[in-house]
Homo-oligomer: A and B are copies of this chain.
Amino acid sequence: MGSDTAQPHPKSRGAARRAMRRGPTIDDVAEVAGVSRGTVSRVLNGARYVSPAALKAVERAVRSTGYTVNQSARSLVTKQSNAVAFVLSEPQERLFEDPNFSVLLRCCTQALAEHDISLILMLESSDAERDRVLRYVRGGHVDGVLLISAHSGDPLIADLATGVVPAVACGKPGGPESAVPYVAAEDTEGARQMTRHLVAQGRKRIGMIACTQVVGGRERLQGYRDVLGRKAVKRLVVHTSDYSFAAGAAAMRELLAESPDIDAVFAASDLLAAGALAELRRAGRRVPDDVAVGGFDDSRIARETDPPLTTIRQPLERVAADMVDVLLRLIRREPASSRLLPTELVKRESA
């Protein structure tokens, strides 16, 4: 990161020179290949306007010298870093708690690696950190940013929306019509699928554990309402502040207190559903016999709960791949817009 700010760097620098290997330079390659350094550079950057002979000579020289570009030197002139920031906004511990996040991170790293682009992970939970991220991003250290924001209406979005730096969000950013493109699952339709499934099972008192502060949360609640609006089914919504196990358990307790005869619950995330399951067991209710439980995400935990969760699968691997694809296009100044990916009902044992 370098003293991004202009503050002096106490001692961390200076003492440690030569962290970078010396290695052969482009001039070494040029010499071995018997051409000018300009020609070497050309083959390195596209091999156009280079004779077959020169090309071959350079390629073998590269191999024999074990040459590797010096990215700093390159970036200095191209103004490109070949790195992208993966910014994790807001509540760290919680976000990290979510298995979805790991999938996203893993898949983005992989997709980026295929393009030889580095992923730089940045956390942004305090205002100070937000400033740091902003300075870093604005400072041209990265070519673009992948924004994973838990809470909708993230302040970073506004800054990114200025378009100074290409950015893509995961999930539709809330707040004022944002200019930042995003990739998300079809949350509303997914919620409808689950709610319809619960109704089809003959459930009459279907509660929902919603969290509208989280990206996608509003849509999931909407889907639930869309389906139940025209049914003779009792509705009851409890709101939580995040998608955590603990919040799910607390919400379930509330639901049980307010509506002891509840016979189904749709939790807006698998983690929430897992918490609800734990609470249900504590209360002596059988799942799905007494109460059916539906989750959302089809994350790893859906297979590890007892009973395994019936849930809505969101194609996270594709979300990640598409985020990278959109970002890369944006960086190349190619047209690219938001994408919505289809969800799917995964029937297991909880509902």
Residues in chain A within 8 A of chain B (CB atoms) = 1-6, 8-21, 23, 29, 43-47, 58-59, 62-63, 67-76, 78-83, 86, 92-93, 96-97, 99, 101-103, 105-106, 109-110, 113, 115-123, 129, 132, 135, 138-141, 143-144, 164-166, 245, 274-275, 278, 281, 300, 304, 306, 328, 331-334
A328 touches which of B12, B73, B74, B132 (Cβ 8 Å): B12
Q: How distant is the Cα of A24 from the Cα of B248 in the complex, in angstroms? A: 50
Q: How distant is the Cα of A278 from the Cα of B96 in the complex, in angstroms? A: 24
CB distance B79 to A20 under 8 Å?
yes
Can you name 18 extra interface pairs (CB under 8 A) apart from A71-B141, A86-B121, A97-B300? A2-B71, A2-B82, A4-B116, A6-B44, A6-B58, A13-B80, A15-B333, A16-B332, A18-B79, A19-B140, A19-B143, A19-B144, A21-B138, A70-B139, A73-B76, A96-B103, A96-B106, A109-B121
Residues of B within 8 A of A245 (CB): 304
CB distance B43 to A1 under 8 Å?
no
Q: How far is the CB of A245 from chain B (nearest CB, A)?
A: 5
Assuming the A-B contacts A68-B139, A97-B300, A103-B96, are A3 and B44 also in contact, with contact meaning beta carbons closer than 8 angstroms in the complex? yes
14 pairs of residues in contact across A and B, judged by CB atoms under 8 Å: A5-B68, A6-B69, A9-B46, A16-B332, A20-B79, A68-B138, A71-B139, A72-B73, A73-B76, A96-B102, A97-B300, A110-B123, A278-B304, A281-B306
Please name the 8 residue pairs, one residue from A and one from B, whose CB atoms are nearest each other, closest first: A20-B140, A20-B79, A6-B62, A72-B75, A68-B139, A1-B116, A19-B143, A96-B102
Q: How far is the CB of A227 from chain B (nearest CB, A)?
A: 30
A80 touches which of B6, B16, B116, B281 (Cβ 8 Å): B16
Q: How distant is the Cα of A20 from the Cα of B12 in the complex, in angstroms? A: 26
CB distance B140 to A122 under 8 Å?
no
Residues of B within 8 A of A304 (CB): 245, 274-275, 278
CB distance A70 to B140 under 8 Å?
yes
CB distance B331 to A19 under 8 Å?
yes
Interface centre among A72, A103, A113, A331 (most CB of B within 10 A): A72
Q: How distant is the Cα of A143 from the Cα of B59 in the complex, in angstroms? A: 28
Residues of B within 8 A of A16 (CB): 80, 143, 331-333
CB distance B69 to A15 under 8 Å?
no
Residues of B within 8 A of A83 (CB): 1, 120
Q: How far is the CB of A71 from chain B (nearest CB, A)?
A: 4
CB distance A132 to B118 under 8 Å?
no
